[in-house]
């Protein structure tokens, strides 16, 4: 299922505006601090432009909690008193330095961390690209550090338990801790149902292996919910009075 891009952009823009106002800055002043044009920044705040990971990282430098900015969860401001904050407009060389951090010549950039996170989830590049509503080639460029990923790509991984701080900087643990300020996203209703019915689902997988049913076919079963067989399996797993 694709992430709702327009809804995300709108919510991100509202949080960006709240953060700017908490610092008592005008849009022009904020744009200077994050190294953007005024028009470009205004587009992000209005929710009509797709924010980049660089914008999120620049806001973190100013003291915002990346998890809150991306998802609305946790506190707005970082609790780490040692975070270095920009006191004035960012110079061109500082912005270029940030870009090199995201698209470096070595394997220490955000692209390498996206690669690590994707493999941890056992997703293909095409599967993630489809969920993000982008081309496979576009996502591949993110992983190869040919281009800077947008914030929606970060949200995809944060919602699956990865630390926003680790994705942006490589610092800290890869997986977010429930004890930290970067809380895991709440499971969806479907995920909650699956968690409550693991034994039945495990039985299904065991039966499938016994019948030599290809795993790839099973993964596609949810896309055929209108077929009577799939409906019977679904109803049995989730207890809709259908006998297995």
CA-wise closest residue to 53 among 66, 43, 63, 39: 66
Q: Tell me: do 144 and 203 sit in the same domain.
A: no
Place of tokens 């509202």: 14
Stretch 79-94: mean pLDDT: 49
Helices (H), 23-163: 27-33, 38-46, 53-61, 66-71, 92-102, 110-121, 125-132, 136-143, 151-158
Instruction: Tell whether 107 and 198 lie within a shared domain.
Output: no
Q: Is residue 181 part of a domain?
A: no
The answer to whether residue 101 scores a pLDDT higher than 70 is no
Based on the fold, state whether residues 48 and 139 are members of the same structural domain.
yes
Instruction: Quote the pTM value.
Output: 0.67
Same domain, 194 and 160: no
Average pLDDT, whole number, for the chain? Answer: 77
Q: Give the count of domains, the chain.
A: 2
* Residue span of the structural domain in which 207 resides: 189-237
Same domain (yes/no): 59, 148: yes
Amino acid 145: pLDDT: 86
- Same domain for 105 and 198? no
Let me know whether 45 and 149 are in one domain.
yes
Residue 6, number of CB atoms within 10 A of its CB:
10
């Amino acid at each position: 299922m694709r992430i709702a891009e327009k809804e995300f952009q709108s919510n991100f823009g509202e949080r960006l505006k709240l953060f700017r106002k908490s610092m008592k800055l005008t849009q022009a002043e904020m744009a200077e601090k994050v190294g953007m044009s005024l028009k470009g920044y205004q587009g992000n705040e209005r929710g009509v432009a797709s924010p980049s990971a660089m914008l999120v990282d620049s806001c973190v430098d100013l003291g915002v909690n990346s998890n809150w900015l991306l998802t609305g969860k946790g506190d707005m401001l970082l609790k780490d008193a040692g975070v270095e904050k920009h006191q004035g407009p960012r110079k061109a060389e500082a912005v270029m330095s940030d870009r090199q951090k995201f698209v470096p010549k070595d394997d220490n950039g955000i692209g390498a961390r996206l690669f690590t996170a994707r493999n941890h989830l056992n997703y293909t590049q095409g599967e993630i690209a489809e969920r993000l509503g982008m081309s496979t080639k576009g996502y591949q460029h993110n992983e190869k550090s040919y281009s800077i990923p947008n914030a929606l790509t970060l949200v995809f991984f944060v919602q699956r338990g990865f630390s926003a701080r680790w994705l942006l900087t490589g610092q800290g643990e890869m997986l977010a801790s429930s004890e930290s300020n970067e809380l895991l996203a709440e499971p969806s209703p479907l995920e909650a149902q699956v968690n409550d019915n693991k034994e039945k689902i495990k039985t299904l997988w065991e039966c499938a292996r016994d019948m030599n049913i290809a795993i790839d076919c099973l993964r596609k079963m949810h896309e055929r919910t209108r077929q009577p067989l799939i409906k019977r399996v679904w109803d049995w797993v989730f207890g809709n009075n259908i006998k297995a």
